[in-house]
Structures are given as C-alpha cells and as structure tokens.
Homo-oligomer: A and B are copies of this chain.
C-alpha cells in the first residue's frame, strides 16, 4: 500500500484508515481517509505495513520513498522515530501532538493508557522527546510539570541517547512541606574562616532543630555559613566582635567571599525550606546542594533524608546527561531529586524521577 506525502502529512485512503487508524490508533481520520504524521508513516514503512510514501511535495518528481529514504529525509526526526517505536514496542498507542489532533498541544506526543487509543479521551503521558545532546530549559521542565494539573496525564521528558535508546523522566511540581518547627533561644558564635562555632549551644539548636554539627558529643556546635546566615537573619544568632554591624551581613559577606553569588542563591533556598518546616543539610556526598528532612522531632531519632535539592539560577539550562546523573544517583539512594529555581518572584520547585512507561 502506498501513501502520499504533501510536505505536512502523509495521506492515505479509506482502507488505510480502517487498518491503521481504526484498528491500531495511527493518524487522524479526515473525510473517511486518514492523515498520518511523518513519524507514523515511517513506523508503518518500518513494519512493512506501508510499501512506500510518494513524495508529492510541489516541485518534486513524485519519487517513491521506502523506509530507508523516508527516515533519512528531512520529513522525519530520528529522535521522534526511535521514541515512537519504543513506545509502540512497549504496547502503547500514541498520537503526535499536532494542532487539531489532540486535546492539548503540549510536548511532542500524547500517549494513551495501555489498551486505549485516540478514541477514548484518556491520556497516560504527555511526552516531550529530545536527543541526548539537546538543551532542556527550566521552562521546558516547568511546562511538563504543569501538565498533570492543567491537561491530564503525566508530563514526561523522553531522552533518546546516542544508541537510540530512550529513557523517561516524570516531571512534577512537588509540595514542599514539613513539620520541623522548634524555638531556639538567642545564641552567640565565633566566625571562623568558613563556619561559625557556637561554644555553649542550647540543646534545641542541634538536638531538636538540627542546626550544625557537634564538634564532639556534648561539645561546641559548628554551623555552616548558610545555617549561620539564616539564623542571624532570624535574629537568633549574634557574632562575637561584630563591631556593632548586622551579623547577617557579616556572614553574608564571608559567604560571598568563599562561594560567590551562589551563596545568596543557596541561602534563599535554605530559608524557603526552613520556612516550610523542612531541614536542609549539606548534600555534598550526593553531589547536591542539600539533602532534606521534612519531619525532625529529635536528631537522636533521625530517619533518612527524603530529598536531594539542587539549587539553580532562574533560566538554567539542563543537559540531558546532567539530568540523568542527578536523577540516577537520587534513585540509587531512594531519594526524590528536586531542582530549586531561584526566580526573582519566588522559588520554583521541580521534581524529576525515573519512569518506566
């Protein structure tokens, strides 16, 4: 069976509509015929269900294109083809997210729940497909995270690697709340090179609210600069020999000396987490900015941290490889990977997890 490529869609007749659309969810029926997206036509060529696509674009000689010629033509993106094939191989029906083809044009494909198709209305995933070397902006992820609430179906980023194998990431907007709220009496500390030492700490500081670390059991508590800057900003911490200056400013200056503008960004995210009742501690061992504990009643009774948080500037662009690294590591230690974007107007949280469709 042949079909005709007009530069936009691949058109085929009634019997193709019955075989491909009605029975197997390809394309969109139009006046009793069927319109196939190029990627769908490529898949039908690959399977041998179509014999050729006739190139009927204006100015062409009506060449008959087989799978090989059609796939390597500009009509079809290889990334889209390998993704389409993978989802079909996994038993899904899916539609290219073209205007008029799907309920909401978002991402590249609308994937239906297994056993369903374009006839039912239910949506499992809305998938954006990119190659291993593509740039993925924070806005791209935010758009995927918004899918669930706005459109139904989960927002998914699919990355097709150099070996044409896709991996899938579910992108969501996590609700960041915890229950850690403890009163800390006022304290004083010494500013050392890049930490603050509190020599006579009240028990709630570390043992309840989980600020800092004990130098030794029952001994001084040393605070990281970001912890100290937050406590100083809350009016809880003063610094010995501050010369009458605001201790939050003194610590902020030191923080910017050792870490540049990242310090202020991390402090903002730190403060947003504390305000939400969540305890951030260094995520260094996991290659992240923070690991977080939502519900700390007592440090003696501490569970595992639940999340890893990476702090990023507004407008950050991800590479899929960096995403894969963060998400895989978090998965390996059974934590949720959360990206915190420091926008001028507030913090945006995005969680990214592995998905096997």
A residues bordering B, Cβ < 8 Å? 46, 68, 71-72, 77-79, 131-133, 159, 161-165, 167, 190-195, 197, 199, 212-213, 215, 220, 222, 224-226, 258-259, 281-282, 284-288, 320-322, 324-326, 328-329, 332-333
Q: How far is A169 from B226 in the complex, measured between Cα atoms in Å? A: 26
Q: How many copies does the complex hold?
A: 2
Task: Indicate if the CB atoms of A324 and B197 lie closer than 8 Å.
Answer: no
Query: What are 14 sample pairs from A and B whose C-beta atoms fall under 8 A apart?
Result: A78-B194, A159-B284, A161-B282, A162-B225, A163-B213, A163-B222, A163-B224, A163-B281, A163-B282, A287-B324, A287-B325, A288-B321, A288-B325, A332-B333
B residues near A192, Cβ cutoff 8 Å: 71-72, 78
Task: Indicate if the CB atoms of A72 and B159 lie closer than 8 Å.
Answer: no
B residues near A78, Cβ cutoff 8 Å: 192-195
Task: Indicate if the CB atoms of A162 and B325 lie closer than 8 Å.
Answer: no
- A164-B195, A288-B321 known; 13 new pairs, CB 8 Å cut-off, are A68-B190, A68-B199, A72-B192, A72-B197, A78-B192, A132-B282, A163-B282, A164-B222, A284-B320, A284-B324, A287-B325, A325-B325, A329-B332
Task: Indicate if the CB atoms of B287 and A224 lie closer than 8 Å.
Answer: no
Task: Indicate if the CB atoms of A328 and B287 lie closer than 8 Å.
Answer: yes
Which residue of the partner chain B has the closest CB to A219? B46
B residues near A284, Cβ cutoff 8 Å: 132, 159, 161-162, 167, 320-321, 324
Q: A68-B190, A328-B285 are in contact. Are A162 and B199 (CB under 8 A)?
A: no
A101 to chain B, nearest CB (A): 24
Q: How far is A185 from B229 in the complex, measured between Cα atoms in Å? A: 66
Task: Indicate if the CB atoms of B286 and A325 lie closer than 8 Å.
Answer: yes
Task: Indicate if the CB atoms of B286 and A165 lie closer than 8 Å.
Answer: no
B residues near A195, Cβ cutoff 8 Å: 78, 162, 164
Q: How far is A43 from B58 in the complex, measured between Cα atoms in Å? A: 83
The 7 A-B pairs at the shortest CB distance, nearest first, are namely A287-B325, A162-B224, A161-B284, A162-B282, A332-B332, A72-B192, A163-B213
Task: Indicate if the CB atoms of A194 and B131 lie closer than 8 Å.
Answer: yes
A119 to chain B, nearest CB (A): 28
Q: How far is A166 from B38 in the complex, measured between Cα atoms in Å? A: 56
B residues near A159, Cβ cutoff 8 Å: 284
Name A167's contact: one of B191, B220, B285, B322 (CB within 8 Å).
Answer: B285
Q: A132-B282, A164-B222, A197-B71 are in contact. Are A321 and B190 (CB under 8 A)?
A: no
Q: How far is A199 from B197 in the complex, measured between Cα atoms in Å? A: 67
A279 to chain B, nearest CB (A): 12
